[in-house]
């Protein structure tokens, strides 16, 4: 039986929720430029793939991804001026998350994990959960985990994948981690030959509005994607998958 | 090259938008009970499939679907009390559509089609477009088409598919049209053996709140899905695909 | 004693609510073009008149009408480009209905009927009720009925009033039904001599934004009002009045 | 021809707006307890009556009243705990006014007067106008006047009507001014025999939440309505009518 | 130990809230022109100073002031066209107050006083409290007092301070009361030599939008500040301080 | 003359804005637990002190701080369950920032710097600026810088201040950086003797809702504040002050 909620009938879904209290995973993505070599859907595609991997490990279900996310910012996503980047206002994303969380609680779901694949989403997803929990009140049985998937890469893996030093997750936009993960999960959507030669972005410790688009490499790639391999992607996917699964087991008492 | 926007890089997408002014299709679905024989994602899956079909005909692109829709109502979707139905507040859906439409306009898209696959979405999608157009102002080059896909079934087809008389689109929830279309597009997600024997729902000309759940067949199927076939689905899909393609060509001058 | 809430003192109103649990009717109208022969207030005026008629039958009360409604759409109201049409954003109407329903619940009203006289209002009125019911919580004693009044015309009446076939309620804007009802209730506001000769509107199965105003007859009348008579209006008013009264008695156990 | 906008066809309304630039009056009322002797609709009824009187003098039009207003407060309306008082959230009233003002501007109206008959509405009506004017931008030709009608009673009239000293407008809820005006305009809705003997309310210079309902006379009448006469009402109506008409002529250059 | 909440640690604050149920004062100010002789922060500075004075008398605490307020209006604050006046939308101020009140309730505060120093804030502060109280529900132990501080000047003081007659609080913007209070509390921020010679403003009984800025003296001072002295300020501060303290003791049973 | 906007008259402020185009600094703080040794106002107090320092260097002005911020989170502020922490909903903070930015633009300010002193504020401040810039439109002359002040500590300073390794800014809540900065700026508000002995918090790479309060040291101090000195504070203040001043000069062409 499918682990994708959208492929289950309500009868199957209800039975599983009632009998098994499965962990439900909600991938939070974006439609955002990811350089010339990765597709616009990268964040939602990766978050969904990782959710399916973990759900398979812990007997969970994966809800349909949120395919649009908060406005891309220059220093972590290249900025919202790129063509193709399709972003929501903060309040819209907050409401979307709030509504979804409330509905899973109504279903009787008690274990919900929001897996964020788009750096800019973090605080609006957080506020959406906060508002839903307030609406549900202290008596709710629902517990929610929220995470950015890349935070589960182990230090050892990062040290090996970045032998010259890890540039930090913010700059890892359309760069080595995402490209390797895509090569692992969805290689047909990666065009390695188009990885640009742009030097890594070098951002100051502040933001400017209107965006200083000149700060961002024209390709939209914030640090080098060169050296990306499916093997590195597999290693990181294993880290992330095992890490989230372990976290889920620990926190939800599985 | 893919017609799915989420599989294109921003470079490819931008090139196409600038050079070809393609029609962009945005499927508007839901996560909603569709009886024991159809999956929760039916509305988004069908709207996406139809968008891809039409996009292929007119050289268009398909944006990621809106996978969550407005609250299911008893008389057209069985009601929002079903487990698995995962709905948004009206204001959330309005904002989601408004934001997306504004972003496509920013990209330079001039031809946008919102293909609704969830009856309850209609007016909130409309308001989202209205608000976006007001924000964009009278100088915008964007034109938006909005439609429910089933409205493109021809009368002749309906007459043949429903030899005993067409019960109307509202009752066609998880019933013959949707089941046949799913058999045509995604037969592995249909479980014909589970089609219920419920008599068709018989609703009065008013709604009650709190919902009178007793009005709704326990299965969530509002009229019979018996007699659904992939052939009928193919026929209706052809009607719809050709109809939308013709409308698009006419209105957008292709 | 008056059945109009705005003509009662709070002392009278409170006594009736406490002692009689009367059905309270809230007419939901609009300020919208209705052709050259009907006034801008037609929707609120008719909804109010019908509410008063039903209230008289079932011992109910009529609250002040919502005189402004959701944006007129070309295919059911001629569109929002007409001078005089004075419309609300969706969110405004939702909030207006939500607030009013919550207040009636606070009064102790347990039986509330929202009688919609403006096609475009339907889903925003629905959402307003949904939000109010959520706020009131499952323990509320309030039950709400929502309806569009024209849906209570019987098939037999429609067959006789439209001997050449009924064009459907959406096209019935400023047309035979509304004109006849106005001739029945408020004949001094109808100027029969100004009924236009426009051919009926012929709309495609989709909407366009910005509105294709050329689709709409310049008069704003979507199908012919010719043949409207007070007699036909009386017949339909009787259908509607009796139908709503019967529904109210059935659902509220009167 | 009627001066009530809801009784005009759009054709008549448009002609007048285009040819005459009439002043459009929008009465802002409430549904609120007004003691045992005045009806719940007093604020909207009086504001509408006064608007019609002024419109007749200056060749204006009267739009449908806003029949629901902001939450009644103890010190000016008795408080929102009374049965029958039916109030809106501040944001709802703001949005309602904003939407209406924007629409009148779209019609081509250049002279709009919001006549407030409910003390508590003032600042939310103001904000609604402020938001509309911001949306319309500096190029708009629309000018808006906003007023509370009682402020046009002359000092001389007040001195004669209140020989023992004027208690101030806030306490004038369901009291001598409103009762006399109702006796002038709508005497059949006044029940003089039910005017209560409550002593005038004596409020401290602060508010408490939850409301100290004990501060408010049980009748809801904040100061005495005894001595109300149609003659006094006529005198005040004349003051108000002439005062508003003069203001309108002065400000709008008529 | 400080009476300023922002100078206490959470441990000290919690101990006091739990052991003493202190009255918490929330000053509500603005950033608004106050003529050439008073600073932009006058409203927040005075409200804070008065709160500290009363808190010292009743053993209370003073929360950080709301430093931005609702849009200045010509007739009570000179209007929002002045440079330096920095105003919030109504909905923003409502939400700010609502959130703060809810949080104090969560802390266990049972006695909260909102001291408003900006005339235009009144109704939005009221609505913020109303919304918070609704969210907190009828079981809350929180009681909230709301006031404008100037309303506690006694009639005797006003008679002596304004021997030629009191022009009313609305006109008292940047005028004798505020200037004298500032001379009492913060004399180094007053530049008496810059008090303008403008004649007092003479406003009609209505407002116009866009604002008729010509109605307002160019200085922004609505009535004369001449004659302001620290002594008068001290007298009024004593009135206000004692008045609020007495009100607090009476209503909160101290 | 003061550099604090709230201490300037509008005349002085206007003159400076028109003649000097000064950089306006808006401190964004919070009211949030900062352990037993630092006051609740730490974030706003530090942000304000740093703004004043930089403003003095670059001839700027400091607007009144936003004294309330977004909900404290366990991993960077201890969580919102602490008594005294007084937080805003995300939408409230977004609106507050949006309104303020729009008003500074109206004043003619062209150089605005939002100095954030509360980690949780970041994305809501960002969205507030984004919304304001969209409202202002592409023609605005306003440029906005946004920053968290601690990001201007140089690596060399961090290496010396944290000889055992820098734990990261998120854990630096009520810890060495903030305590040292407070010892530098406002030593009378620091109670060094109360610095707790809690071990540093050790958070997993995910969040849980409802908050796992057991993750947070009972004191609310996330890593050790021991070793804090005014000297270290002075050093970091110098870094930050010089860093921001340099950034401001570079970006605003001073």
Q: Give the confidence band of A167 by pLDDT, cuts at 50, 70, 90.
A: confident
Known catalytic residues of B are 32, 34, 43, 118, 120, 173, 178
From CA C224, how far away is CA C179, in angstroms rounded?
10
Higher-confidence residue: A6 or B172? A6
From CA F250, how far away is CA F254, in angstroms rounded?
7
Task: Summarize the confidence of residues E72-91 as an average pLDDT.
Answer: 96
> Which has the closest alpha carbon to C131: C93, C95, C104?
C95
Average pLDDT, chain D: 96
- Give the pLDDT confidence score for residue F170 in this predicted structure: 79
Contact B198, B218 (CB under 8 A): yes
Residue in chain D lying closest to C44 (CA):
D6
Contact residues, chain B, for A83 at CB < 8 Å:
10, 13-14, 17, 107-108
* Cis peptide bond N-terminal to D210, omega within 30: yes
Contact residues, chain A, for F73 at CB < 8 Å:
126
What angle do the packed helices C90-107 and C122-136 form, to 10 degrees? 40
A247: pLDDT strictly greater than 80 = yes
- Give the pLDDT confidence score for residue B114 in this predicted structure: 98
Contact E90, D127 (CB under 8 A): yes
Average pLDDT, chain F: 96
Who among C31, C39, C107 is closest to D84 (CB)? C107
- Give the pLDDT confidence score for residue F47 in this predicted structure: 98
A151: which DSSP letter? G
In a mutational test of the E interface, the residue from D94, D157, D210 whose CB has the highest number of chain E CBs within 10 Å is D210
Q: Give the phi and the psi of residue C59 in degrees, each rounded to 5.
A: 70, 40
Q: Among A69-73, C196-200, C219-223, E180-184, which is the least confidently predicted range?
A: C196-200
> Taking the mean position of all CA atoms in its chain, how far away is CA F54?
13
Task: Summarize the confidence of residues F209-234 as an average pLDDT.
Answer: 94
- Give the pLDDT confidence score for residue B132 in this predicted structure: 98
Q: What is the pLDDT of residues C172-190, one digit of tens each?
A: 899 999 999 999 999 999 9
Subunits adjacent to chain A (3 or more Cβ pairs under 8 Å):
B, F
Beta bridge partners of C4: C62
Contact residues, chain B, for A85 at CB < 8 Å:
10, 103
pTM over 0.90: yes
F214: which DSSP letter? G
Q: Give the confidence band of B225 by pLDDT, cuts at 50, 70, 90.
A: very high
- Give the pLDDT confidence score for residue D171 in this predicted structure: 83
Q: What is the pLDDT of residues B133-160, one digit of tens each?
A: 999 999 999 999 999 999 999 999 999 9
User: Which residues touch C165 (CB under 8 Å, ≥6 apart)?
Assistant: none
Residue-by-residue DSSP string for E171-217 = T-SSSHHHHHHHHHH-GGG--GGG---PPPP---SSEEES--GGGS-
- Give the pLDDT confidence score for residue A171 in this predicted structure: 83
Q: What is the pLDDT of residues A13-27, one digit of tens each?
A: 999 999 999 999 999
Chain position carrying tokens 């012929």 = C202
Q: CB pairs below 8 Å between B and C: how many?
A: 107
3-class DSSP state for residue E160?
Answer: helix
Contact C170, C205 (CB under 8 A): no
Which class for E191: exposed (0-12), middle (13-18), buried (19 or more C-beta within 10 A)?
middle
- Give the pLDDT confidence score for residue C1 in this predicted structure: 76
Residue-by-residue DSSP string for B156-219 = HHHHHH-TT----TTT-SSSHHHHHHHHHH-GGG--GGG---PPPP---SSEEES--GGGS-TT
Ordered alpha helix ranges (H), chain A: 10-20, 42-58, 74-77, 90-107, 122-136, 155-161, 176-185, 230-252
Average pLDDT, chain A: 96
Q: Give the confidence band of C191 by pLDDT, cuts at 50, 70, 90.
A: very high
- Give the pLDDT confidence score for residue B15 in this predicted structure: 98
From CA E147, how far away is CA F81, in angstroms rounded?
30
Ordered alpha helix ranges (H), chain B: 10-20, 42-58, 74-77, 90-107, 122-136, 155-161, 176-185, 230-252
Q: What percent of chain E has pLDDT over 70?
A: 100
Beta bridge partners of D62: D4, D25
SS (H, E, C) chain C: CCCEHHHCCHHHHHHHHHHHCCCEEEEECCECCECCCECCCHHHHHHHHHHHHHHHHHCCEECCCECCEECCCHHHHCCCCCCCCEEECHHHHHHHHHHHHHHHHHHCCCEEEEEECCHHHHHHHHHHHHHHHHHHCCCCCCEEEEEEHHHHCCHHHHHHHCCCCCCCCCCCCCCHHHHHHHHHHCHHHCCHHHCCCCCCCCCCCCEEECCCHHHCCCCCCCCCCCCCCHHHHHHHHHHHHHHHHHHHHHHHCC
Beta bridge partners of A61: A24
> Which has the closest alpha carbon to B121: B66, B54, B60, B55?
B66
Q: Give the confidence band of D110 by pLDDT, cuts at 50, 70, 90.
A: very high
> Which has the closest alpha carbon to D128: B61, C68, C128, F53?
C68
A118 is catalytic: yes
Q: What is the pLDDT of residues B109-123, one digit of tens each?
A: 999 999 999 999 999
Q: What percent of chain B has pLDDT over 90?
A: 91
Token code pair at residue B221: 């199927």
CA angle at C107 for the pair C102 and C113, rounded to the nearest 5°: 60
- Give the pLDDT confidence score for residue D198 in this predicted structure: 82
D104: pLDDT strictly greater than 90 = yes
- Give the pLDDT confidence score for residue F223 in this predicted structure: 87
Widest pairwise Cα distance in chain C: 55
A43 is catalytic: yes
User: Which residues touch A142 (CB under 8 Å, ≥6 apart)?
Assistant: A101, A104, A105, A109, A110, A111, A112, A133, A136
- Give the pLDDT confidence score for residue A88 in this predicted structure: 98
Residue in chain B lying closest to A12 (CA):
B36
Q: What is the pLDDT of residues B182-212, one digit of tens each?
A: 999 999 999 999 999 888 888 999 999 999 9
Average pLDDT, chain B: 96
- Give the pLDDT confidence score for residue D8 in this predicted structure: 98
3-class DSSP state for residue A140?
Answer: coil
Subunits adjacent to chain E (3 or more Cβ pairs under 8 Å):
D, F
Contact A132, A113 (CB under 8 A): no
Q: What is the pLDDT of residues A170-222, one digit of tens each?
A: 788 999 999 999 999 999 999 999 999 888 888 999 999 999 999 999 999 99
Task: Summarize the confidence of residues A97-118 as an average pLDDT.
Answer: 98
Task: Summarize the confidence of residues B81-89 as an average pLDDT.
Answer: 98
3-class DSSP state for residue E130?
Answer: helix
From CA F121, how far away is CA F112, in angstroms rounded?
17
In a mutational test of the C interface, the residue from B74, B75, B90 whose CB has the highest number of chain C CBs within 10 Å is B90
Contact residues, chain C, for B90 at CB < 8 Å:
90-91, 94, 123-124, 127, 130
> Which has the closest alpha carbon to C93: E234, A90, B126?
B126
- Give the pLDDT confidence score for residue D172 in this predicted structure: 86
CA dihedral F33, F35, F40, F45 (to 10 degrees): -120
* Cis peptide bond N-terminal to B210, omega within 30: yes
Q: Give the phi and the psi of residue B15 in degrees, each rounded to 5.
A: -60, -45
Contact residues, chain F, for A130 at CB < 8 Å:
71, 90, 209
Task: Summarize the confidence of residues D181-198 as an average pLDDT.
Answer: 95
- CA separation (Å) from A170 to A203, A219, C79? 11, 16, 48
Full residue range of the structural domain in which residue D239 is found? 5-252
What total number of domains does chain E contain? 1
Residue in chain C lying closest to B101 (CA):
C209
If residue A85 lies in a helix (H) or strand (E), which one and from where to where?
Answer: none
3-class DSSP state for residue E146?
Answer: strand
Token code pair at residue E180: 């004298």
Q: The domain spanning residue E69 has which CATH number?
A: 3.40.50.10310
- Give the pLDDT confidence score for residue F167 in this predicted structure: 83
A112: pLDDT strictly greater than 90 = yes
Subunits adjacent to chain D (3 or more Cβ pairs under 8 Å):
C, E
Q: What is the pLDDT of residues F129-154, one digit of tens each?
A: 999 999 999 999 999 999 999 999 99
Q: Give the confidence band of F198 by pLDDT, cuts at 50, 70, 90.
A: confident
User: Which residues touch F68 (CB under 8 Å, ≥6 apart)?
Assistant: E64, E96, E99, E100, F29, F30, F31, F86, F87, F88, F93
Q: Give the phi and the psi of residue E203 in degrees, each rounded to 5.
A: -95, 145
D1: pLDDT strictly greater than 80 = no
- Give the pLDDT confidence score for residue A45 in this predicted structure: 98
From CA F252, how far away is CA F59, in angstroms rounded?
13
- Give the pLDDT confidence score for residue D167 in this predicted structure: 83
- Give the pLDDT confidence score for residue E214 in this predicted structure: 93
3-class DSSP state for residue B142?
Answer: coil
- Give the pLDDT confidence score for residue F200 in this predicted structure: 84
Q: Do F and C make contact, counting contact as 3+ CB pairs within 8 angstroms?
A: no
Contact B182, B233 (CB under 8 A): yes
E198: pLDDT strictly greater than 90 = no
Instruction: State whether E68 and F68 contact (CB < 8 Å).
Output: no
User: Which residues touch C205 (CB under 8 Å, ≥6 apart)?
Assistant: B147, B148, B151, B152, B243, B247
From CA F84, how far away is CA F77, in angstroms rounded?
12
3-class DSSP state for residue B26?
Answer: strand
């Amino acid at each position: 039986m499918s682990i994708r909620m959208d492929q289950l009938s309500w009868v199957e879904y209800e039975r599983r929720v009632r009998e098994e209290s499965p962990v439900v995973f909600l991938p939070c993505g974006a439609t955002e430029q990811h350089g010339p070599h990765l597709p616009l859907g990268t964040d939602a595609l990766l978050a969904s793939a990782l959710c399916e991997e973990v759900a398979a490990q812990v007997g969970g279900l994966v809800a349909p991804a949120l395919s649009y996310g908060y406005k891309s910012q220059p220093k972590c996503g290249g900025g919202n001026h790129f063509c193709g980047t399709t972003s929501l206002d903060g309040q819209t994303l907050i409401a979307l998350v709030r509504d979804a969380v409330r509905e899973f609680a109504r279903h009787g779901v008690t274990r919900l994990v929001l897996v964020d694949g788009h750096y800019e989403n973090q605080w609006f997803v957080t506020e959406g959960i906060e508002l839903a929990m307030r609406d549900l009140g202290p008596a709710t049985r629902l517990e929610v985990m929220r995470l950015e998937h890349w935070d589960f890469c182990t230090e050892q893996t990062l040290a090996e994948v970045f032998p010259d030093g890890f540039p930090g997750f913010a700059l890892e936009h359309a760069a080595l981690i995402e490209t390797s993960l895509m090569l692992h999960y969805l290689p047909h959507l990666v065009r390695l030959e188009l990885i640009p030669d742009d030097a890594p972005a070098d951002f100051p410790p502040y933001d400017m509005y209107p965006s200083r688009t000149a700060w961002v490499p024209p390709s939209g790639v914030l640090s080098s994607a060169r050296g990306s391999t499916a093997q590195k992607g597999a290693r990181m996917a294993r880290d992330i998958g095992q890490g989230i699964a372990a976290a889920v087991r620990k926190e939800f008492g599985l």
